[in-house]
Amino acid sequence: MISRAKKKAVGDKFPLDPIIFTSALVLLLVGLVMVASASVELSSKYYGSSFYLLLKHLIYLFISIFVGLMAIGLPIQFWEKIRLPLLLVGFALLILVLIPGVGREVNGSQRWIPLGFLTIQGSEFLKLFIILYVAGYFAVLKRNRTNELVRFLNPLVVLVTAVCLLMAQPDFGTSLVIISSVMGVFFLAGASIKYFAPLLIVSVAAGTLLVVLEPYRFQRLIVFTNPWEHQYEAGYQLTQALIAFGRGDLFGLGLGNSIQKLFFLPEAHTDFLFSIIAEELGLVGASLVIALFCLMVIRILWIGNTAMTKGLTFHAYVAYGTGLMLGVQAFINLGVNLGVLPTKGLTLPLMSYGGNSLIVSCLLIGILLRVEFECRNHKRRRHAR
């Protein structure tokens, strides 16, 4: 039988969870290589340098890794204490972006606040802030055993406010990610089905109305069912993405040999990066990316369950919420690329070009690694006693 000292020594060799750390690192590196491949022609044509977008992505990546490492060094109690100020900062950013002259409009959406070289997208940071707030709220309620009906009111008001501000931009994709993640935390926090089911039905009905009442969203819904009928109109992006998958076959055309990135597929380095991965690395490469996301999300949810069994409720809800958030966003992006979901402007976490998305994704991973680290330490302290 291995002694406790030996077990501790083995554990000390891996101060960070190896599964989450390795999965995230591989996704970051594959994303870097694929962004370089997908953006080279675009950079050359519009910026005069083949490596312009790659260099920007590298700068974002260094910032993101630095932020993630800082998050690893901060105790989870720190995030629990500042969850309300962070939520207010998130709401402030969403309000600021709507002010004429402050927010920048791109492709009909006003989501960005320009700050020289960098731009801030408040909706990306709100995804993290609202999960921290909801996790802290339910952790307090679980400790105080508050009435189950009352427990819904406060976070529900926060959720509705966030969605209203997001739809004013508009940003339907981020709204879906936030609603799905928060609802998941509601359910995992032990919400009774008699309260959860009506809330779920109302959320689905509201989402359906938002799609049906907005002509361009309804058109996307119609087009994605048969994009080939609108191949050179609203279905252009999706058909080009599907062509990329067809070209990739089993092993792909080879790194750098994509045809679709040569101005056939719009947003090849951002929202549709996965299509370029499938074209250049084939079914094998695309399947590896999906497997890494699945492995990472399953591990995160397992960590959440472990934290809950040890009585670390805030840790558990943070893990649940962030795991669901990464999983839902990845699922929507992959679904859009594969043509099984209507087109939405969501990046692939940890991989797509985009500074705000990359920073927030690394911040989430850093917090999750800290959650796992504190769970292990909690277990050791208990054994020591």
pLDDT band at 93 (very low <50, low <70, confident <90, very high): very high
Q: What is the pLDDT of residue 151?
A: 66
pLDDT tens digits, one per residue of 112-158: 888 877 788 889 999 999 999 999 998 888 776 655 666 677 888 88
Task: Cite the beta strand spans of the chain per DSSP E.
Answer: 104-106, 109-115, 118-120
Cβ contacts of 28 within 8 Å, gap of 6 or more: 61, 65, 350, 351, 362
Most confident of 40-49, 193-202, 208-217, 321-330: 321-330
For residues 280-299, average pLDDT = 96
Assigned domain for 1 exists: no
Number of structural domains found in the chain: 1
Assigned domain for 9 exists: no
Domain that holds residue 355: 17-378
Assigned domain for 384 exists: no
pLDDT tens digits, one per residue of 47-87: 988 899 999 999 999 999 999 999 999 999 999 999 999 99
DSSP states along 76-97? HHHHHHTHHHHHHHHHHHHHHT
For residues 174-184, average pLDDT = 90
Assigned domain for 308 exists: yes
Angular region, 267: left φ>0, alpha ψ -120 to 50, beta rest: left
Asked whether 245 and 275 are in contact (CB, 8 A), the reply is yes
